[in-house]
Amino acid sequence: MEKLKYLLGSLTIILLMSITIYGGFRLAFKKLIFPKVNIAGVDMAGMDKPTALKLLTSYFEGDPSKISLESEGKIISKLTGIKVEHDLIWAVDQAMGVGRNGNILTQITEVSKVLLYGRTIDVPVSYDKDDILGLVEQISEKLNMKPTWPALRRENEKYRLVSGQNGIEVKQNDLIGEIIKQFSRPGDHVIQIPTNLVETKENGELVNIAIQSLERWSDNKLSIRFRDFERQLNVDEMSHLFGLINEQIDNIKFESLVSEIKPSVEVEPRDAVFVFENNKVNEFKPEVVGATIDIPQFKTNLAQALLSVEDKALEIPVILTYPKIKTGDINNLGIKELIGTGKSTFFHSIPGRVFNVNLAASRINGTLVAPGEEFSFVWAVGDISRATGYQTAYIISQGRTILGDGGGVCQVSTTTFRAALDAGLPITERKAHAYRVGYYEQDSPPGIDATVYYPTADLKFLNDTGNYILIQETVDTKKLSMQVDIYGTSDGRKSIISKPRISNQAPPPATMYVDDPTLPLGTMKQIDWSAWGGKVVFNYSVERGGETIYEKTFVSNYQPWQAIYLKGTRI
């Protein structure tokens, strides 16, 4: 018994000592970064936020010319003229947050791991992709050596082999990846430019097969056809199509042939078109069956034709795509009346955002959803990027409001969501924004919004009306408003949306002012806007004939959002 008391007493003393030591440790580092925490290899242990930021800034001062690109011991280029921005504030905030997130047990566990193994915080960087691509293209032009491929030359009705010469090509993706990685590291760096050897050694067996086949073809021609299109290949053209290295068909020449004939063979499918306005169809076009060259099958068939020398004609294999809506189906679609409407305004939007709202709405406008089909906003709107015409505007990404491609598309998804609710359609997927966005509360209570971001967030709803529905979207760029109308056949359903209930409201954190040495002294630039946080709930039910056929509760958890200003310090 005495031994047990002694053991318990000892354990109690050890526990108290441990708590005292840990408490003292936490107190000592109350506003300091914990030991063994580094940012991009720079030790931050024991520093407060201003000191850490100052030290980190000194390491990252200068321009990308500290990074040299080298090949075979010679410096080929330096990264001059590329604007690179480092988010040092974010990195320091992350370092300060190590061991301070979650409950006490989580914090103790994290601190223990950091003390044992250390923690490295990477510095986020932003840069102009086009600048890097341009630089890599210039380097490739300097270093690339085009290979000379082996070929068959015809002399006195006979074919002989002309051997090729190896080439060199810069591995552009690898080089871009290495440049981006070095951007996030301080100091001088030398990057060895990665290259590939392009081998052109011919395959003797393939060469013999090609020569024998060409001699049998003599001066005959191979005709490739599809419908009214015909293209004849003479023996010289066929000689280039034979593969002499590792395949029976030369990929480069085959791709060139496909590119040549595509415009004459391929056609996009097109639905029968009608525009529903004022209770009538104003526009009509018959459907078109689409055709796409079946590339793998065409390559196989072409190889067989070149080798057989029996059939002098080759039908180009295609994949047919039938339109969803045919001319004979138009009167059976059930597009009869307006069944739902959604509206929104977006006053004070920057020009890029207005442009994107209008563009995204035009991509959705006219969408038909078949009976039983699930509508996907992400699928319907397509790729959202500069490549598809979108401009730069504010978006929510990784917990911050930043400029990005396609800002404003969520105005369209939100308005479409409201139309689907009004139409009484089952909502199968919807995600609220991270915080309460002012645009969506200009003419609506909070909580009736829908964000989209491929591939993590989509707006989806089901057409369970038994008939087709048509989605029409209109944007007034002068009045900064938009409307989404859903047409179909009413089955008597009625949607009921409760008044949103707001709870757990939290005020926005205090405005943050961050010194920015890139801005002139005395200037201020707002990069994030404040918003109250809270939980918003509303009930959605659909009734028909006195019975509830669908009901759902929508819950939106909005984070309190902090306004952030950059203060210019450059003299």
Confidence at residue 284, expressed as pLDDT on a 0 to 100 scale: 45
**Is residue 148 scored above 70 in pLDDT?**
yes
What is the C-alpha to C-alpha distance for residues 422 and 433, in angstroms, rounded to an integer?
20
Rounded Cα distance between 496 and 484, Å, is 18
**Does residue 299 share a domain with residue 392?**
no
Model pLDDT, residue 537: 97
Tell me the average pLDDT across 60-81: 75
pLDDT exceeds cutoff 90 at 7: no
Predicted confidence band at 553 (pLDDT cuts at 50, 70, 90)?
Answer: very high
**391 within a domain of the structure (yes/no):** yes
Mean pLDDT of 86-109: 86
Q: Which helix (H) or strand (E) holds 284?
A: strand 280-285
Which residue type occupies 136? V
Of 307 and 336, the one with more pLDDT: 307
Q: How sure is the predictor about 85, in pLDDT bands with cuts at 50, 70 and 90? A: confident
With a pLDDT cut of 90, the percent of the chain lying above it is 35
Residues 359 and 471 in one domain: yes
Residues 258 and 362 in one domain: no
Domain boundary among 306, 330, 354: 330
Same domain? 412 vs 551: yes
Give the separation between CA 95 and CA 544, rounded to whole angstroms: 57
- Other CB atoms within 10 A of residue 278 CB: 5
Return the minimum-mean-pLDDT range out of 120-124, 359-363, 562-566.
Answer: 562-566
- The rounded distance, in Å, linking the Cα atoms of 385 and 391 is 8
The pLDDT of 507-535, averaged and rounded, is: 83
C-beta of residue 484 within 8 angstroms of C-beta of residue 421: no
Q: Compute the average pLDDT of residues 306-325.
A: 87
Q: Which pair of tokens denotes residue 37?
A: 């925490």
Average pLDDT over residues 28-40: 85
543 & 525 share domain: yes
| Measured distance CA(365)–CA(470) in Å, rounded | 9
Same domain, 442 and 558: yes
Residue 60 in domain: no
Helix (H, G, I), strand (E, B) or coil at 114: helix
Nearest CA to 191 out of 181, 178, 180 is that of 178
pTM value surpassing 0.75: no
Do residues 489 and 362 both lie within one domain?
Answer: yes
Of residues 65 and 464, more confidently modeled? 464
Domain-located, residue 281:
yes
- According to the model, what pLDDT value does residue 271 have? 85
Q: How many domains does the chain fold into?
A: 2
Question: Cβ(202)–Cβ(102) under 8 Å?
Answer: no
Structure tokens that stand for 467 in this block: 């008939």
Where does the pLDDT of residue 42 fall: very low under 50, low under 70, confident under 90, or very high at 90 and above?
Answer: confident
Tokens, residue 277 = 């306005």
Domain extent for 378 = 333-570
Q: Specify whether 449 is located in the same domain as 549.
A: yes
Residue 89 lies in a domain: no
Provide mean pLDDT across the span 333-342: 86
Closest CA to 84 of 128, 133, 150, 23: 128
Which residue has tokens 């009346």? 337
Q: Is residue 278 part of a domain?
A: yes
Please identify, among 309, 330, 351, the residue that sits at the C-terminal boundary of a domain.
Answer: 330
Residue 289 in domain: yes
Q: Identify the residue with better confidence: 18 or 274.
A: 274
Last residue of a domain, one of 303, 330, 357: 330
Residue 156 and residue 403: Cα distance in Å, rounded? 66
**Pair of tokens at residue 182:** 């070095």
Whether residue 118 is contained in a domain is answered as no
pLDDT recorded at residue 402: 56
The count of C-alpha atoms lying within 13 angstroms of the C-alpha of 313, restricted to the half-sphere facing its C-beta, is: 6
Same structural domain for residues 279 and 304?
Answer: yes
Residue 281 and residue 218 share a domain? yes
Residues 346 and 326 placed together within one structural domain of the fold: no
Adjacent-strand bridge partners of 566: 514, 525
Q: pLDDT tens digit string along 155-202?
A: 887 888 889 899 999 998 998 888 888 888 887 888 888 999 988 898
Same structural domain for residues 402 and 497? yes
For residues 539-556, give the mean pLDDT: 96
pLDDT surpassing 60 at residue 123: yes
pLDDT at res. 428: 97
Examine the pLDDT at 281 and tell me if it is beyond 50: no
Whether residue 305 is contained in a domain is answered as yes
Vertex 391: Cα angle to 387 and 393 (nearest 5): 135
Higher pLDDT among residues 376 and 336, named by residue:
376
At residue 564, the pLDDT reads 77
Q: What is the domain-level CATH number for residue 306?
A: 3.10.20
